[in-house]
């Protein structure tokens, strides 16, 4: 896992470590790591043109000391101060190594630009002259390296208000910061390189998985279709049969031992035609879900409709003692029936920002601007695992680090892909995964399948279904 800590925890760990070290040691460690990454990005350090954009904080000092190390190796290093305040010891080190300070420099044509304008404490939009320097850095022809976090990106949330430096590489110190993993900030970071400076940190606030961290259930020698997990899906209607087909497809290709599907006659006929391996049943909503047969987890909501029949099915599924995933129309029903969430068994909710706005009674724009804040709030208020879809999908459970999915792609912003995700997570739940792990693994595999199926081209939801076996296979490899 990649672990990320919010600014307050990082600051506290830095202060505790600095109290035990000689003055300046921590900055020297950060600068050495930054200089090493910068040197590795240049074809050759000797003779390279390096420009440092220097603010008045510690990141400006990091940039100056790193510039001094590069200057000692023969680089032509010029610092550009964004204001009257500058780290004096760092500036002395730069000058002592042969570097210089100038009012302006050839930012656009430099081989390497180092962004040390603001640090992890920067919040709100960049003001002048910082904003203009950030614009010029983003348009530079050479490589752009950000110190700790690109200037203009909120380190704790990923918010970007106005201009921000668009880096090719971000060198972050001690730990990742949430804003490096969560869009829109993550999109400004490029490749993130972590430099260990010896911080003793508490539990993380946010985590992001590596492929090795994703472990979907694997069938063993004694497996049969029941041991692998039976997922029940309540989806579709006379009007929306596609949602039923896609959610069932996500479950079939997601490794379920058996899929039981129940709906109105027309949806059942369409699903039976496309997925003959699925056990289907026509359901009378008022009779509950026992008529469907034994399952280990439920998926309810895609294409279900939001009327009385749909509400009866959502209530019936949530009245069981099994894990339940609620999506799409089911979430709209829950917005008016939050009482249904008072249950002991795990509940997974998979809203996009608009659906979460109805659940929390918060404007969509506010949720999109503060995704991390609101997914945590939703998990606490709704007593559920909440998967907030978006350019960065977040998965939250109360009092646990938020999971950030690293495989998402804008190509998933097309109709039906959420239905595929609901079936896929349902299969993982039925297979025995803990609810938080199932939601995070489902998001990871879903994004990976989208990337594998896209290859730079537009995709459909069914392309994602078709690519799920390749996504599973890539994990195994």
Query: Do the annotations mark residue 307 as ligand-binding?
Result: no
| Cβ burial, residue 295 (10 Å; 0-12/13-18/19+) | buried
Query: Do the annotations mark residue 419 as ligand-binding?
Result: yes
Query: Do the annotations mark residue 62 as ligand-binding?
Result: yes
Query: Do the annotations mark residue 354 as ligand-binding?
Result: no
Query: Do the annotations mark residue 205 as ligand-binding?
Result: no
Residue 138: CB atoms within 10 A of its CB come to: 19
DSSP code, position 4: E
Query: Do the annotations mark residue 157 as ligand-binding?
Result: no
Query: Do the annotations mark residue 320 as ligand-binding?
Result: no
3-state secondary structure of 467: helix
Query: Do the annotations mark residue 303 as ligand-binding?
Result: yes
Largest CA distance in the chain: 83
CA distances from 261 to 90, 148, 339, 399 (A): 66, 49, 26, 34
**CA 223 to chain CA mean position, Å:** 33
Report the distance separating Cα 395 and Cα 359, nearest Å.
16
Q: Tell whether omega for the bond before 20 is within 30 degrees of 0, i.e. cis.
A: no
Pairing mode, if any, of strands 112-116 and 100-102?
unpaired
Query: Do the annotations mark residue 87 as ligand-binding?
Result: no
Query: Do the annotations mark residue 120 as ligand-binding?
Result: yes
Query: Do the annotations mark residue 208 as ligand-binding?
Result: no
Query: Do the annotations mark residue 352 as ligand-binding?
Result: yes
| Cβ burial, residue 403 (10 Å; 0-12/13-18/19+) | buried
Query: Do the annotations mark residue 461 as ligand-binding?
Result: no
**Short-list 131, 108, 118, 107, CA closest to 85:** 118
Query: Do the annotations mark residue 125 as ligand-binding?
Result: yes
Query: Do the annotations mark residue 418 as ligand-binding?
Result: yes
Report the distance separating Cα 425 and Cα 420, nearest Å.
9
Count the helices and strands in the chain (H runs, E runs): 15, 18
Query: Do the annotations mark residue 124 as ligand-binding?
Result: yes
Query: Do the annotations mark residue 58 as ligand-binding?
Result: yes
Query: Do the annotations mark residue 438 as ligand-binding?
Result: no
Query: Do the annotations mark residue 456 as ligand-binding?
Result: no
DSSP H stretches of helix in 253-287: 265-274
Query: Do the annotations mark residue 8 as ligand-binding?
Result: no
Report the distance separating Cα 282 and Cα 263, nearest Å.
5
Please give the annotated binding residues, written as ranges.
Answer: 58-62, 115, 119-125, 130, 148, 151, 243, 303, 352, 389-393, 418-419
Please give the annotated binding residues for K(+), written as ranges.
Answer: 59, 115, 151
Please give the annotated binding residues for AMP, written as ranges.
Answer: 389-393, 418
Please give the annotated binding residues for (6S)-NADPHX, written as ranges.
Answer: 58-62, 119-125, 130, 148, 243, 303, 352, 419
């Amino acid at each position: 896992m990649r672990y990320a800590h919010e600014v307050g925890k990082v600051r506290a760990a830095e202060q505790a470590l600095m109290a035990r070290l000689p003055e300046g040691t921590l900055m020297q460690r950060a600068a050495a790591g930054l200089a090493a990454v910068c040197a590795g990005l240049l074809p050759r350090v000797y003779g390279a043109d390096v420009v440092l954009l220097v603010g008045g904080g510690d990141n400006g000092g990091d940039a100056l000391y790193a510039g001094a190390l590069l200057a000692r190796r023969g680089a032509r290093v010029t610092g550009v101060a964004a204001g009257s305040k500058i780290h004096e010891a760092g500036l002395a080190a730069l000058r002592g190594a042969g570097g210089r300070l100038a009012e302006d420099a050839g930012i656009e044509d430099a081989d390497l630009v180092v962004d040390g304008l603001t640090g992890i404490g920067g919040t709100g939009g960049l003001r002048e002259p910082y904003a203009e320097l950030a614009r010029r850095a983003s348009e530079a022809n050479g490589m752009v390296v950000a110190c700790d976090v690109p200037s203009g990106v909120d380190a704790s949330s990923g918010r970007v208000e106005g201009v921000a430096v668009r880096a090719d590489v971000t060198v972050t110190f001690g730990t990742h910061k949430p804003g490096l993993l969560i869009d829109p900030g993550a999109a400004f970071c490029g490749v993130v390189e972590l430099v260990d400076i010896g911080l003793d940190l508490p539990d993380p606030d946010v985590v992001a998985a590596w492929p090795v961290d994703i472990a979907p259930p694997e069938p063993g020698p004694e497996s049969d279709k029941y041991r692998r997990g039976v997922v029940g899906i309540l989806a579709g209607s006379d009007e929306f049969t596609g949602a039923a087909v896609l959610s069932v497809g996500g479950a079939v290709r997601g490794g379920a031992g058996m899929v039981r599907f129940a709906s109105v006659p027309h949806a059942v006929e369409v699903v039976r035609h496309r997925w003959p391996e699925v056990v289907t049943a026509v359901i009378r909503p008022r009779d509950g879900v026992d008529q469907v047969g034994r399952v280990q987890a439920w998926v309810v909501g895609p294409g279900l409709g939001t009327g009385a029949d749909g509400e009866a099915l959502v209530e019936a599924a949530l009245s069981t003692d099994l894990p339940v995933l609620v999506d799409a129309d089911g979430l709209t029903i829950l917005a008016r029936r939050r009482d249904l969430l008072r249950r002991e068994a795990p509940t997974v909710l998979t809203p996009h920002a608009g659906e979460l706005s109805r659940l929390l009674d918060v404007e969509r724009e506010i949720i999109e601007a503060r995704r991390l804040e609101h997914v945590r709030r939703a998990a606490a208020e709704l007593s559920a695992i909440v998967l907030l879809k978006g350019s960065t999908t977040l998965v939250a459970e109360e009092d646990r680090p938020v999971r950030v999915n690293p495989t998402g792609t804008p190509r998933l912003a097309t109709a039906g892909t959420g239905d595929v995700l609901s079936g896929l997570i349902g299969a993982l739940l039925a297979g025995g995964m803990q609810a938080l792990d199932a939601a995070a693994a489902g998001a990871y595999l879903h994004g990976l399948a989208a990337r594998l199926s896209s290859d730079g081209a537009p995709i459909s939801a069914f392309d994602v279904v078709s690519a799920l076996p390749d996504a599973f296979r890539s994990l195994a490899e």
